[in-house]
Chains A and B, each alone.
Chain A
C-alpha cells in the first residue's frame, strides 16, 4: 500500500475515535426509559452494575432464614450483544442449626437485543442464561452440582403511543421474561432436577414519563424520577415427578433513577406455598457504567 493511502486508511479508521457520534444510552426505546428492574431481567443490553443487591428472604418452608448479597455486572460487546456475570454471597440460618455462609451458584448470560421500536417504545431480546455446576458451596448451601442452560426471551413495551385522550395511561410500561431450564443432571443427591418454565413481569408507572412527556403535574425531585412498580416472577416444574409445582413471589416497590445510578427497594411477598411465609425485602444500588465511563469502559467493545 502507498504511504499516502496508508495514512488515509489510518485516518478513516481513527475518525470515529476523534469525532464521537451520537450513541444510544442504556434502557431507552424512543422516548421510553426502562429502569433496571430488581427481580426480573431487563429487556435490553447495557453497561451496568448492580452493587450490591441486598435481600432479606421470607422465612423458608423449613423455618430457615436466608440473607443474600448479589453482585451483577453487564457489558456490551457490540451495541446489540451483551454479557452478564453474577454471583451471590449467601447467609443461611437453618432452624435450630448453626448458620452457614458462602457463595451461591455463579451465573452468566449472553444476550442479543434483536428488536427496538422507537415509535412504539418496544424492545425485545433473546439470550442464554447459564448457572454453572460446582461454583458455589454445594454441600453446605445447596448450590448446584449441575449446570443449567436456560434459553430466554425478554421484552418491554411502553404505552406512550396510546392516544392523547388517555394521558394517565401513557406512563405505563410492562416488561417480561420467559425462559426454560435445561439442567445437565436429572437428579442431585436423590432429588429430581426438573425442567422448569420461568415467567416474570414488571408493571411500571413512570412518574418521569408523566412529568416530562405527558403533563407537568408539578412533581419535584426526587419524585419526578421515580418509577413505582410491581414485579412478579414464577417458576413451574414441568416433569420428573414435580410437574405443576410452582414457586413465585410478588414484589411491589419503587425505583429512583438518576443520571448515573439508580436505587430500588421492593417488598417480597410469597405467592405460593413453596416460596415460604412472612415477608421479605430487598434494596439495590445500580450503576449506569455507560454514563460514568462514557469514553472508555461504558462503550461497547466493538461496533460503536
Chain B
C-alpha cells in the first residue's frame, strides 16, 4: 500500500509540474483599460483588454454598446503583435454615459471564453 501511495504522490507531482510548465490554457480576462466597472473622467481613445493567455485573432473580438443597448460602430479589434494576450479596440469619440464591453476570446489551445463588463464616462 505504501508503494501505491508513493506512486500516487509521484503522479500528482508530475501532473503539477506539467501543469505549471504547460503553455496552453483557456484565456481569462486579467485586467482592462478602462477598468472593469470603473468611471473615467475623460472618454478613452481606445479599449485595452489584457488576457491570461495568447489569443487566436481569427476567433477573438470585442464590441461596445451604449447603456440603452445600441451597438457603437468601431473598427475591428486587433491583437497586439508584440503581446498576443492584449486585444485593442480603437474607439470613436464617446459622449458621457454608460457603456458595455462584450468580448470573446479563443486561446491558442482553441478553448473559447467570453465575458462582459461596463464602464462610465463622466459628464
Point out residues on A near B: beta carbons under 8 Å. Answer: 20-25, 28, 30-31, 49, 51-52, 69, 71, 89, 101-102, 118, 164, 167, 208, 211-216, 225, 258-261, 285, 287-288, 290-292, 294-295
> Which listed residue (B24, B37, B116, B118) contacts A291, Cβ 8 A?
B24
Verify A292–B112 contact, CB threshold 8 A. Answer: no
Q: Which residues of B contact A (CB under 8 A)?
A: 1, 4-5, 8, 11-12, 15-16, 18-20, 22, 24-26, 28-32, 35-38, 52-53, 59, 106, 109-118
Query: CB distance B25 to A259 under 8 Å?
Result: yes
Complex Cα spacing A237 to B71, Å? 56
Which of A28, A118, A260 has the most chain B CB atoms inside 10 A of its CB? Answer: A260
Specify the chain B residue showing the minimal Cβ separation from A20: B110
B106 partner residues in chain A, CB cutoff 8 A? 22
Judged by DSSP, the binding face of A is: mixed
Output the least CB separation between B22 and chain A (Å).
6
Q: Which A residues are CB-close (under 8 A) to B29?
A: 212-213
Q: Is the CB of A291 within 8 A of B36?
A: no
Query: Could you show 15 A-B contacts with beta carbons less than 8 Å apart?
Result: A22-B59, A24-B111, A89-B4, A89-B5, A118-B114, A212-B30, A215-B37, A259-B26, A259-B53, A261-B15, A288-B19, A291-B19, A291-B111, A292-B15, A294-B110
Q: How far is the CA of A212 from the CA of B59 in the complex (A)?
A: 21
- Closest approach, in angstroms, between the C-beta of B119 and any C-beta of chain A? 10
A164:B114 contact, CB within 8 angstroms: no
Interface centre among A69, A167, A294, A295, by most B CB within 10 Å? Answer: A294
A260 touches B110 (CB 8 A): no
Q: State A21–B110 Cα separation when bound (angstroms).
A: 6
